[in-house]
A = this chain, B = another copy of it.
Amino acid sequence: MAHDHVMPTDLTRNQELVLGTLNHAPAPLSAYDILDLLRSEGLRAPLQVYRALDKLVERGLAHRLESLNAFVACADEHCHRKGLIAFAICEGCGKVDEFADAVIEERLGKWAGATGFKVERTTMEIRGKCAECLKAA
């Protein structure tokens, strides 16, 4: 099922435009990509996009991919409840798969406990090829 995203009703216009753009994109978009796609809607400056993205990421409706300097819509309605999220990014088609793994998270917790490090945020990004792209090659 494609585009089965839930769009909250309490978003501002800019936030809604940005989230809508991410929802319909087949691959991550940079803030400037988003801006270009929304010029026809009246957006003119990077800050308008970045401010919307900040809020969306804060609410867990979108995620930032550090290794791409780009953003994706969250693929899971209840993602924000979870802790660590891992992203598998296909270098072929750009598709991003989002998943949580309790074992990895627990393992991380163990390491933190042993070293006295207080974890605040974890980014885990896997680059490679998705099954579909491998088959096509």
A127 touching B134, Cβ below 8 Å: no
Q: Mark A101-137, 1 if CB is under 8 A from B, else 0.
A: 1011001100110011111111111111111001000
Partner among B122, B129, B131 whose Cβ is within 8 Å of the Cβ of A127: B122
B99 touching A111, Cβ below 8 Å: yes
Provide the residues of chain B in CB contact with A128, threshold 8 Å.
112, 117-121
Provide the residues of chain B in CB contact with A88, threshold 8 Å.
111-112, 115, 117, 119
Partner among B97, B111, B122, B126 whose Cβ is within 8 Å of the Cβ of A108: B126
The complex is assembled from copies of this chain, and their number is 2
Is A91 in the interface zone, CB < 8 Å from B?
yes
A115 and chain B: residue at smallest CB distance:
B131
B134 touching A116, Cβ below 8 Å: yes
Is A66 in the interface zone, CB < 8 Å from B?
yes
In Å, the complex CA distance between A114 and B131 comes to 10
Partner among B66, B111, B134 whose Cβ is within 8 Å of the Cβ of A67: B66
Provide the residues of chain B in CB contact with A124, threshold 8 Å.
122-125
Q: List 8 A-B pairs, Cβ < 8 Å.
A: A86-B111, A88-B115, A90-B117, A112-B128, A121-B128, A122-B126, A123-B125, A124-B124
Q: Which 10 A-B pairs have the closest CB atoms?
A: A116-B131, A120-B128, A66-B67, A66-B66, A119-B128, A121-B127, A118-B129, A118-B128, A124-B124, A122-B126
